[in-house]
């Protein structure tokens, strides 16, 4: 499967625990985006990363959330001290180039569904 | 003001009907435009790009109106399998983000 791979697909955490979501982009893609989708709501941009660099994190909550995309390995979205309001689907997407290239678009993984109890 | 706005619907149409969705965007310098489809509890999937001159893919036609800052999606001869949420996507001239609308829900009724 050469698509965007996310794991875990489903994750249950108690309030106060940490959640780590992983994303491996499509082969040949070096741009990764994380989106959050709350129940019955639209996709909200969180962060855009290239290898080892955070390019745009304007959608990330100021506290408890962090993201990285190391030189080797998958991109990680980390949520510390989770609260019930963090329950959502977290989608990762990747692209081969920035959106500045006409027609370039992003492809999504199947999502990680976080439930905080 | 939101970057991208869509009528959430829902649109309930009979099989065979023609249905159209619009999506407005706020940044006049926006670069690229797309329509995605999202099924319940699934990831969004690219439906089609939207080109300045308009483009068609089978029963689907996408249009861009830069003067009025909106894009549209027309679905002809609706099928039951078209039932989904349709998301418009706009890329600003910085290229850093893909802004998604909240989606328009379509249900095609037998």
With a pLDDT cut of 90, the percent of chain B lying above it is: 67
pLDDT value of position A32 = 93
Asked if the Cβ–Cβ distance from A100 to B42 is below 8 Å, we say: no
Q: pLDDT digit string (tens) for B37-80? A: 999 989 999 999 998 888 999 999 999 999 999 999 999 999 99
Beta carbons of A105 and B97 less than 8 Å apart: no
Provide the shortest C-alpha distance from residue B44 to chain A (in Å).
Answer: 7
- Say if residues B77 and B60 touch (Cβ distance below 8 Å): no
- Whether residues A110 and B42 touch (CB distance < 8 A) is answered with yes
- Shortest CA gap A108–chain B (Å): 6
Contacts A–B by Cβ distance under 8 A? 66
Mean pLDDT taken over chain B: 91
Dist CA B89 CA A113 (whole Å) = 22
Residue A53, chain B, CB below 8 Å: the answer is: no
Q: Which of B44, B95, B103 sits opposite A100 (nearest CB)?
A: B95
Is the predicted pLDDT of residue B12 greater than 60, yes or no?
yes
Contact check, Cβ <8 Å, B49/A105: yes
Of the candidates B89, B106, B96, B104, the one whose C-alpha atom is nearest the C-alpha of residue B35 is: B89
Q: Does B91 touch chain A (CB under 8 A)?
A: yes
Note whether B11 contacts A: Cβ–Cβ < 8 A: no
Per-residue pLDDT, A28: 84
Beta bridge partners of residue A50, listed in sequence order: A31, A53
Rg (CA), chain A: 14
pLDDT of B25: 93
Nearest CA in chain A to B32: A102
State the pLDDT confidence band at A100, using cuts at 50, 70 and 90: low
Q: Where are the beta strands (DSSP E) in B26-103?
A: 32-38, 45-50, 55-57, 60-65, 70-75, 84-91, 99-100
The proportion of chain A whose per-residue pLDDT surpasses 90, expressed as a percent, equals 69
């Amino acid at each position: 499967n050469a698509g965007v791979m996310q794991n875990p697909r489903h994750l249950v955490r108690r309030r106060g625990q940490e959640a780590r979501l992983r994303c491996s982009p499509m082969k040949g893609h070096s741009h990764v985006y994380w989106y959050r989708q709350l129940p019955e709501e639209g996709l909200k941009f969180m962060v855009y990363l290239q290898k080892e660099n955070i390019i745009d994190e304007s959608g990330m909550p100021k506290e408890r959330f962090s993201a990285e995309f190391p030189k080797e390995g998958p991109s990680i979205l980390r949520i510390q001290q989770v609260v019930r309001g963090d329950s959502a689907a977290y989608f990762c997407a990747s692209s081969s180039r920035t959106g500045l290239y006409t027609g370039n678009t992003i492809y999504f993984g199947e999502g990680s569904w976080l439930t905080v109890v | 003001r939101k970057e991208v706005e869509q009528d959430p619907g829902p649109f309930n149409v009979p099989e065979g009907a023609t249905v159209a969705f619009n999506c407005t965007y706020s940044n006049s310098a926006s670069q690229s435009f797309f329509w995605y489809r999202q099924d319940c509890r699934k990831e969004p999937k690219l439906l089609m790009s939207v080109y300045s001159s308009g483009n068609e893919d089978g029963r689907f036609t996408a249009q861009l109106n830069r003067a009025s800052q909106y894009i549209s999606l027309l679905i002809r001869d609706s099928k039951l399998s078209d039932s989904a949420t349709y998301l418009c996507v706009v890329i600003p001239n910085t290229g850093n983000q893909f802004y998604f609308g909240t989606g328009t829900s379509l249900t095609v009724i037998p």
